[in-house]
Amino acid sequence: MAKHILIFSFIILLFSCSSKQEGKIIFVQNKTELKSALDSVLPGETIILKNGVWNNTNIIFKGNGTKEKPIILKAETAGKVFIEGVSSVQLSGNYLQIKDLFFRNGYSPTKNVIAFRTAEDQLANNCSVSNCVILDFNKPQRDQDDLWVQFYGRHNKLSHCYIAGKTNGGPTVRVDLKGNQSIRNYHQIINNHFGPRPRKGGARGETIQLGSSFTSMSPSYTSIANNLFEECNGEVEIISSKTNFNEIKNNVFYKSEGSVVTRHGNYCVIDGNYFIGDGVNENYGGIRIVNTGHWITNNYFYSIIGEDFRSPLAIMNGIPKSPLNRYNQVTDVVVAYNTYVNCKSPWQFGVGSNIDQKEVLPLSEIRSARPLRTVVANNVIYNQKGDTNPIIEHDKADGVKFKSNIINNHGVDFNNKDRFKISNFDLIQLSEDIFIPNLSNEITAYSGFGFNTITNDLFGNSRKNEISIGATIQTEAKDPKILDKKKYGTSWYSNEKREEKPSIIEITSNEIDLQGKILTAKSGDILLLVKGTYTISKSLIINKNITIKSKNKEQVELVYKGNDNTPLFELQPYGILNIENIKLLGNGKQQVFANLKENMFNHYGLTVSGCEINNFDYVLKAYKQTFAEEIKFINTAISNCENGIELSEETNDRGDYNTEYLTIEHCQFTNIKSNVIDYYRGGYDESTIGGNLIVKNTTFTMCGGKEKNGILLNTRGIVNVNILNNTFINNPVQLVALLWGAKNNHHSNNNIENSGKIQVEENLKMKLMY
């Protein structure tokens, strides 16, 4: 018996050792050990990276695990391994897993931060990246496009990650379908938190792009599900679906300035998503439809007031016989069982119709093909404040069938009443942003072809034997807690920031004191300058959010004695300067504000209020590939400068521009010789709908004398311009402004004396971007 026990124990020991060998843990402390481990790793093994900073680390992860024995590369402690510097990850093979890494303080040397391939013919299949963070991992220059996660191969997954802060060109995440090995890929992008993506200032700023124009006929079957998109403001498209048979399901789009767009490709299912706005910001969008065969079902829209491209539901006109990279006609689309609460003109048809621009565009660009064989049925609209135009037809919606739609417009009359049943139903509030309609059985749901496949509602309740319309069936419901961030992203990182009260720091009339306090202040602090004159001998560096103002609005002067062609304030990445009630004096050859010529890998911002600016070369000099989300000059007098506000170096005509919002209010410009306001966006592209300029209650006197084109306010290509309540006196120019009539350019109530005129040209000729 003892002998048998000994033999049995020996067998157990051998089996145990064998199992341990197959599941071996390999702990690596440096790049040399990591490379050695990667070169010899076997199925079932786990490579663990030591906690700390891994600088300039390019990981090439190849291997062939199995479903039962994947190969894992992970952090010693989740979130404690920092991938920094010039670093990237590439993986290829089968059943590889990457977990728990934090990418920060750097950028990729290649086109991808994480790529699911190691060479053109070495792709990843059944691999995953999970529980990782990529934060502000931007190229040094805005025009250096890259992708933070690039999918190749098949059956790969990005899950439970937090990804935020991309400022340079290129989608954050992209699925590539070039080659048979990457079509019918069934990739999954699930349970992630896509945190704020700042406005890019032009195209190429999507959060997710599925394929490209030239693979748009390929089947993808990619699933984007259960993600939170928070303040994803990169451009007009948050998700750009450009392939066939994709599914976008159960996601939350929270205060994101853009839309989910079926840009190319066909047969996309967009189901059970939440689109949450605030009823104020017109840039928050919904769903925009192009192409064939899409099903838009069970979606909830709250306080979305965007128009045209950013309307809650935008169904576009197409181009007859469209090339692959333009706009195909919308056909055979179903929009059913959706709920719209307090949305402005939620249904817009014929969006993008541009027949009136045929004089300046080739026929291949004219979007005249109206939607066909499209069904809009069983939807609910509720407007607390009645809407006179719940439906807007930019072109006739005669190819659209409307069935069993209901509206409570609170007694306000509207057009197209024949497309709705008018009702007085009320709402049941589940949370701050979620209201569900409390309906009776006063309307019978339309049962169209294939409607039996819509088996569940927004909350996952079965629609079997239910006749309810709208996104939710009529049943008792609970708060879905869609903004509980614990449901998305990593287990270890949160973007919730505790608000800190700013420190008030008093500065004496001493240059060293001012420079030192700017350096040591924390973001958000306020520097108070006591009365006096400060002589500044070199540029003041602004690389955080800082306010500089005079104490009690006493007279404070900053006299800049720095070198010619240098700025008094150098605005670096993350630098947001608010300056108030200060007089700024130069020698005529310097700049007041300028950003870096290179390495502006993140945005800056500027607000100037109650100041006097005198005798500089440039008031603001913005260099190419730099971007500010907002620039404001308020109650400020600017005089005797060679150049004013110059934001015109994005001359590549790719739709880029240097700031999203430029606001000039209650200012005085006197003797500014050129570039008084020079704000440029080049290239014709309907997806670039920015540049925003307001010039209001401002006086311009004796300005523009050296302006070569004879135009005082240069706004070429800027889409949104409003010039109102201004005074122009003795400005030696031919035109005050040349506005683009076909876009959102307006002028009103301006007093013009001996200063030319404001001219509106309906269709400006612009260089095509493609």
Looking at per-residue confidence, does 742 or 585 come out higher?
585
- In 3D space, the residue among 445, 442, 441, 436 whose CA is nearest the CA of residue 477 turns out to be 436
> Angle CA(34)–CA(172)–CA(433) in degrees, nearest 5?
120
Residue 544 neighbours by CB distance under 10 Å = 17
What pairs with residue 185 in β-bridges? Answer: none
Burial 703-740 (b: 16+ CB within 10 A, else e): bbeebeeebbbbbbbbbbbbbeebebeebbbebbbbbb
Q: Three-class SS of residue 25?
A: strand
For strands 692-696 and 612-614, give the pairing: unpaired
Mean pLDDT for the chain overall: 93
Q: How far is CA 111 from the centre of its chain?
A: 19
Measured CA to CA in angstroms, residue 662 lies from 531, 540, 603, 641 at distances of: 30, 23, 15, 19
Query: Looking at residue 769, what is its pLDDT?
Result: 64
Nearest-angstrom CA–CA distance, 698 and 645: 14
Nearest-angstrom CA–CA distance, 408 and 410: 6
Nearest-angstrom CA–CA distance, 504 and 511: 18
Burial 585-620 (b: 16+ CB within 10 A, else e): bbeeebbbbbbbeeebbbbbbbbbbbbebbbbbbbb
Query: pLDDT-based confidence at 654, cuts 50/70/90?
Result: confident
Query: Looking at residue 770, what is its pLDDT?
Result: 62
Token pair recorded at residue 19? 């199992």
What pairs with residue 123 in β-bridges? Answer: 117
Nearest-angstrom CA–CA distance, 658 and 655: 10
Query: Residue 219 in contact with residue 244, Cβ under 8 Å?
Result: yes
Return the residue matching tokens 């249904």.
Answer: 347
Q: Is the pLDDT of residue 294 over 60?
A: yes
Nearest-angstrom CA–CA distance, 112 and 174: 10
- Segment 614-635 shows an average pLDDT of 97
Nearest-angstrom CA–CA distance, 556 and 611: 10
- Segment 673-688 shows an average pLDDT of 87
Q: Where are the beta strands (DSSP E) in 384-425?
A: 391-393, 400-403, 406-408, 421-422
Measured CA to CA in angstroms, residue 511 lies from 276, 533, 540, 541, 610 at distances of: 48, 10, 10, 13, 22
Return the residue matching tokens 């088996």.
Answer: 455
Q: Which residues contact 281 (CB under 8 A, 6 or more apart)?
A: 255, 257, 305
Token pair recorded at residue 472? 């939710």
Q: Is the pLDDT of residue 120 over 90?
A: yes
pLDDT tens, residue by residue, 413-460: 998 899 999 999 999 999 999 999 999 888 999 999 999 999 999 999
Q: Hey, what amino acid is at 673?
A: K
Measured CA to CA in angstroms, residue 724 lies from 23, 169, 606, 703 at distances of: 71, 34, 22, 18
Q: Is the pLDDT of residue 263 over 60?
A: yes
The continuous run of DSSP H or E covering 38 comes out as helix 31-40
Nearest-angstrom CA–CA distance, 419 and 408: 13
Nearest-angstrom CA–CA distance, 476 and 473: 9
Phi/psi of residue 157, each to 5°? -140, 140
- In 3D space, the residue among 275, 267, 231, 227 whose CA is nearest the CA of residue 247 turns out to be 267
Nearest-angstrom CA–CA distance, 303 and 285: 10
For the chain, what is the radius of gyration of the CA atoms? 29
Burial 66-76 (b: 16+ CB within 10 A, else e): eeeebbbbbbe
Query: Residue 623 in contact with residue 596, Cβ under 8 Å?
Result: yes
Query: Residue 379 in contact with residue 336, Cβ under 8 Å?
Result: yes
Nearest-angstrom CA–CA distance, 14 and 570: 68
Q: Is the pLDDT of residue 355 over 90?
A: no
DSSP secondary structure string for all residues of 64-98: E--SSS-EEEEESSTT-EEEEEE-EEEEEEESEEE
- Segment 678-705 shows an average pLDDT of 90
What pairs with residue 369 in β-bridges? Answer: 318
- With residues binned 3-state (H G I as helix, E B as strand, rest as coil), the percentages for the chain, rounded to 5, are 10, 40, 50
Nearest-angstrom CA–CA distance, 532 and 276: 50
Query: Residue 312 in contact with residue 351, Cβ under 8 Å?
Result: no
Token pair recorded at residue 598? 């290179």
Mean pLDDT check: name the lowest of 120-134, 353-367, 557-571, 709-723. 353-367
Query: pLDDT-based confidence at 321, cuts 50/70/90?
Result: confident
Q: Is the pLDDT of residue 15 over 90?
A: no
Nearest-angstrom CA–CA distance, 419 and 446: 13
Query: pLDDT-based confidence at 191, cuts 50/70/90?
Result: very high
- Segment 623-631 shows an average pLDDT of 96
Nearest-angstrom CA–CA distance, 357 and 315: 20
Measured CA to CA in angstroms, residue 423 lies from 341, 382, 388, 499, 510 at distances of: 14, 9, 16, 45, 70
pLDDT tens, residue by residue, 496-554: 988 889 999 999 878 788 989 999 999 999 999 999 999 999 999 999 999 999 999 98
Query: Looking at residue 500, what is its pLDDT?
Result: 85
Nearest-angstrom CA–CA distance, 153 and 222: 12
Looking at per-residue confidence, does 692 or 765 come out higher?
692
Sign of CA dihedral 686, 692, 697, 702: negative
Query: pLDDT-based confidence at 687, cuts 50/70/90?
Result: low
Q: Is the pLDDT of residue 489 over 70?
A: yes
Q: Hey, what amino acid is at 272?
A: G
The continuous run of DSSP H or E covering 720 comes out as strand 720-724
Q: Burial-class residue 16 by CB neighbours within 10 Å (0-12, 13-18, 19+).
A: exposed
Query: Looking at residue 17, what is its pLDDT?
Result: 40
Share of the chain above pLDDT 90, in %: 86
Looking at per-residue confidence, does 511 or 769 come out higher?
511
Query: Looking at residue 47, what is its pLDDT?
Result: 98
- Segment 673-690 shows an average pLDDT of 86
Alpha helices in 447-602 (DSSP H): 511-520
Q: Hey, what amino acid is at 99?
A: K
Query: Looking at residue 20, what is its pLDDT?
Result: 41
Nearest-angstrom CA–CA distance, 405 and 382: 11
- Segment 82-111 shows an average pLDDT of 98
Nearest-angstrom CA–CA distance, 618 and 673: 10
- Segment 725-734 shows an average pLDDT of 98
Looking at per-residue confidence, does 118 or 651 come out higher?
118
Burial 278-316 (b: 16+ CB within 10 A, else e): eeeebbbbbbbbbbbbbbbbbbbbbbbbbbbbbbbbbbb
What pairs with residue 154 in β-bridges? Answer: 125
Nearest-angstrom CA–CA distance, 165 and 321: 39
**Reported pTM:** 0.94
Query: Looking at residue 358, what is its pLDDT?
Result: 74
Query: Residue 331 in contact with residue 368, Cβ under 8 Å?
Result: no
